[in-house]
Amino acid sequence: MSDPALEAYRQQLLVDDMIVILQNIRHLAWYRTIAATVPEDMIRKALSEIQHDEASEIGDPMVYFVQEMSRINGHAIPVELSRHDT
């Protein structure tokens, strides 16, 4: 059984990494939802691609991350992100 405190800490570390790598704090609630519902390895893979500039073909790292999370887990893109308001 997973320790709820440890899981909350793990999710917060993921959120912190998203903020640092994406350089955007405006979508904090969405980051928390992603951290709670998308497998950690998939989140880290997308963030790693952004860090290592593999996402540069797409241009905007935030848009790339949103597309990847939507593709992976079927998350609806938040309205403010769908308007490309990053």
**Domain range summary for the chain, segments of one domain joined by +:** 4-82
pLDDT band, residue 32 (cuts 50/70/90) = very high
Query: Under a CB-based contact definition with an 8 Å cutoff, are residues 50 and 19 in contact?
Result: no
Q: What was the pLDDT predicted at 86?
A: 46
Q: What was the pLDDT predicted at 83?
A: 57
Which has the higher per-residue pLDDT, 35 or 66? 35
Which has the higher per-residue pLDDT, 3 or 84? 3
pLDDT digits (tens, 9 = 90+) for 49-79: 898 876 556 678 888 898 889 888 775 566 6
How many other CB atoms are found less than 10 A from the CB of residue 86?
Answer: 16
